[in-house]
């Protein structure tokens, strides 16, 4: 069954509009319980699934959390409510508390009007496509309506009061025990999101002098001109405060963008290059391989080659990066957007673990961040986003495919073209890499113009 509700990173859309309504979330809660009951039947037919539920700080989280918990309980599952906590914190607690599944109510880097759902298995990894498709099937069918339990079989909800503290301790344990952050001045922008209490606490407890911004959520200001999507605010504060490093997280805390001591902003490709190089030199990068997506700049390949490293690429989506890491036995991977996964520490991308690993590298080497990231030479890259009415299979749009083929022939071996739909927004993305930025920008605009004419808004 092809998924319709779930994209590359769970469900995403406008809150209180289908499918992110209270009514659908009740059905989602029931479907999650049913699916995890199915998977546990061989071992224990009387098993009552335990589902951990967390959220970010957007106002619609209250409505969706209540509806989801109601659906879970109405299907005989028990709910563990942890409140606002970063997505990777939910993944960690789901595994650590031996829950059957964990659900995050968040639209990540989107503005507050949107919301979404991400689901983790009991092992802390995001669900595979087939399991999401099974959940969708149950939501759409009436099969569960006649299976609702009664009396003592109805589930319960319990609030976990120390979830934040557990996650803080876990994050600190990922930092090398022989190092501290003493002597470092760090700016951290929490995007008024789920990490607004956790991130400053971790950095302070490890010894840094912390300047925290984006830590006053009001339900409507998440990601608003701040965080990893708008790291300029963090960058300015680095310069004003004389900090050595700036850290910008997104609304659910799973991605991280950095600024060096000069206020220069660095994306996930640059950070992965520095971390992979260090692991290569230490002999700790499994199979000398970094996993990245097709969107990562080819400069990443060039940066690792002198150290004997290589890059394996996947489809866009941190879930697909992690799946490839597990399949191939790799321990570091991520995305240009700042989703970076360290399987030695976590089961999913974690913005704070990324920040801590970089800060550890700064302390270990005694070098400023600007120097540590200086080796990365980015090939010119242009990325255009085009709003579309519908996501028609590109192979069924001959004028679009002809335009892509034409530009690919023009670039030859000196560049590449990638055209894909966003997994979380109604947009087509056109990315071109090549030797001359002016030329590739004109080529990207040429393809974008055809897309706008065919399916643009």
What's 434's domain CATH number? 3.30.310.50
Nearest to 284 by CA among 248, 309, 251: 309
Q: Is the pLDDT of residue 41 over 80?
A: no
- Domain for residue 425, yes or no? yes
Helix (H) or strand (E) holding 385: strand 381-387
CA 399 to CA 385: how far, in whole Å?
18
Residue 67: phi and psi, rounded to 5, are -65, -45
CA 326 to CA 313: how far, in whole Å?
14
Same domain for 19 and 58, yes or no, is yes
Place of tokens 């504060």: 237
Check residue 44 and give its pLDDT.
Answer: 64
Check residue 225 and give its pLDDT.
Answer: 97
CA 218 to CA 222: how far, in whole Å?
8
Q: Is the pLDDT of residue 209 over 90?
A: yes
Check residue 206 and give its pLDDT.
Answer: 98
Question: How much of the chain exceeds pLDDT 70, in percent?
Answer: 98
* CATH number for the domain that contains residue 39: 3.40.120.10
Q: How confident is the model at residue 40 (pLDDT cuts 50, 70, 90)?
A: low
Give the model confidence (pLDDT) of 114-173 as tens digits. Answer: 999 999 999 999 998 889 999 999 999 888 988 899 999 999 999 999 999 999 999 999
Boundary of a domain, candidates 126, 161, 196: 161
Same domain for 306 and 389, yes or no, is no
Check residue 142 and give its pLDDT.
Answer: 81
Which range of residues forms the domain containing residue 87? 11-161
Same domain for 148 and 186, yes or no, is no
Nearest to 27 by CA among 115, 106, 141, 114: 141
- Could you give the number of structural domains in the chain? 3
Q: Is the pLDDT of residue 398 over 80?
A: yes
Same domain for 213 and 337, yes or no, is yes
CB contact at 8 A, 234 and 123? no
Check residue 254 and give its pLDDT.
Answer: 96
Same domain for 153 and 84, yes or no, is yes
Give the model confidence (pLDDT) of 220-252 as tens digits. Answer: 999 999 999 999 999 999 999 999 999 999 999
Q: How confident is the model at residue 425 (pLDDT cuts 50, 70, 90)?
A: confident
Same domain for 372 and 423, yes or no, is no
- Report the predicted TM-score, pTM, of the whole model to 2 decimal places: 0.89
Q: Is the pLDDT of residue 385 over 90?
A: yes
Check residue 9 and give its pLDDT.
Answer: 75
- Domain for residue 98, yes or no? yes
Q: Which residues are catalytic?
A: 108
Q: How confident is the model at residue 305 (pLDDT cuts 50, 70, 90)?
A: very high
Residue 215: phi and psi, rounded to 5, are -120, 30
Question: How much of the chain exceeds pLDDT 90, in percent?
Answer: 87
Q: Is the pLDDT of residue 343 over 80?
A: yes
- Domain for residue 3, yes or no? no
Check residue 415 and give its pLDDT.
Answer: 86
Q: What is the mean pLDDT of the chain?
A: 94
Residue 198 Cα to chain centre, angstroms: 17
Same domain for 436 and 320, yes or no, is no
3-class DSSP state of 185 = strand
Give the model confidence (pLDDT) of 353-368 as tens digits. Answer: 999 999 999 999 999 9
> Which range, 36-40, 130-134, 203-207, 413-417, has the best average confidence (pLDDT)?
203-207
Boundary of a domain, candidates 377, 406, 439: 377
Check residue 134 and give its pLDDT.
Answer: 92
Same domain for 254 and 365, yes or no, is yes
Same domain for 267 and 399, yes or no, is no
- Domain for residue 174, yes or no? no
Same domain for 356 and 385, yes or no, is no
Check residue 2 and give its pLDDT.
Answer: 60
Same domain for 303 and 317, yes or no, is yes
Boundary of a domain, candidates 346, 377, 408: 377
- Domain for residue 172, yes or no? no
Contacts with 185 (C-beta within 8 Å, 6 or more apart), sequence order:
208, 209, 211, 241, 242, 243, 244
- Domain for residue 357, yes or no? yes
- Domain for residue 403, yes or no? yes
Same domain for 129 and 23, yes or no, is yes
Check residue 424 and give its pLDDT.
Answer: 73
What is the mean pLDDT of the segment spanning 188-199? 98
- Domain for residue 217, yes or no? yes
Maximum Cα interatomic distance, the chain, rounded to a whole number of Å:
69
Higher pLDDT, 307 or 6: 307
Check residue 39 and give its pLDDT.
Answer: 74
């Amino acid at each position: 069954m092809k998924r319709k509700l779930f994209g590359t990173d769970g469900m995403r859309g406008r809150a209180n509009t289908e499918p992110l309504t209270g009514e659908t979330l009740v059905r989602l809660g029931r479907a999650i319980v049913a699916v995890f009951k199915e998977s546990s039947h061989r071992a224990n037919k009387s098993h009552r699934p335990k589902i951990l539920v967390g959220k970010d700080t957007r106002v619609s989280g209250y409505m969706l959390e209540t509806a989801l918990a109601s659906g879970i309980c109405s299907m005989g599952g028990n709910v563990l409510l942890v409140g606002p906590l970063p997505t990777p914190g939910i993944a960690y607690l789901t595994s650590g508390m031996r829950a059957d599944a964990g659900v995050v109510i968040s639209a990540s880097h989107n503005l507050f009007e949107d919301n979404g759902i991400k689901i983790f298995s009991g092992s802390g990894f995001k669900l595979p496509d087939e399991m999401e498709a099974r959940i969708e099937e149950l939501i759409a069918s009436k099969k569960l309506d006649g299976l609702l339990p009664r009396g003592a079989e109805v589930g319960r909800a319990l609030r976990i009061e120390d979830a934040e503290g557990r996650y803080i301790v876990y994050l600190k344990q990922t930092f090398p025990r022989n190092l501290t952050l003493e002597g470092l001045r760090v700016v951290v922008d929490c995007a008024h999101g789920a990490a607004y209490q956790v991130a400053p606490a971790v950095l302070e407890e490890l010894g840094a002098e912390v300047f925290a911004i984006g830590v006053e959520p009001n339900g409507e200001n998440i990601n608003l001109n701040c965080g990893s999507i708008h790291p300029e605010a963090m960058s300015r504060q680095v310069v004003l405060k004389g900090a050595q490093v700036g850290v910008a997280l997104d609304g659910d805390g799973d991605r991280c963008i950095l600024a060096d001591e000069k206020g220069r902003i660095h994306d996930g490709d640059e950070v992965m290059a520095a971390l992979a190089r260090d692991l290569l030199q230490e002999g700790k990068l499994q199979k000398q391989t970094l996993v990245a997506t097709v969107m990562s700049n080819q400069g990443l390949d060039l940066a690792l080659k002198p150290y004997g490293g290589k890059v394996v690429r996947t489809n866009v989506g941190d879930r697909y990066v992690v799946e490839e890491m597990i399949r191939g036995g790799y321990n570091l991977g991520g995305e240009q957007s700042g989703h970076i996964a360290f399987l030695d520490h976590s089961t999913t991308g974690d913005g704070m673990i990324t920040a801590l690993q970089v800060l550890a590298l700064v302390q270990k080497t005694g070098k400023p961040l600007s120097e540590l990231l200086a080796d990365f030479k980015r090939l010119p890259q242009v990325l255009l986003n085009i709003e579309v009415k519908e996501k028609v299979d590109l192979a069924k749009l001959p004028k679009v495919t002809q335009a892509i083929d034409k530009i690919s022939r023009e670039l030859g071996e000196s560049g590449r073209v990638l055209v894909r739909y966003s997994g979380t927004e109604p947009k087509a993305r056109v990315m071109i890499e090549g030797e001359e930025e002016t030329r590739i920008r004109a080529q990207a605009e040429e393809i974008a113009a055809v897309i706008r004419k065919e399916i643009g808004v």
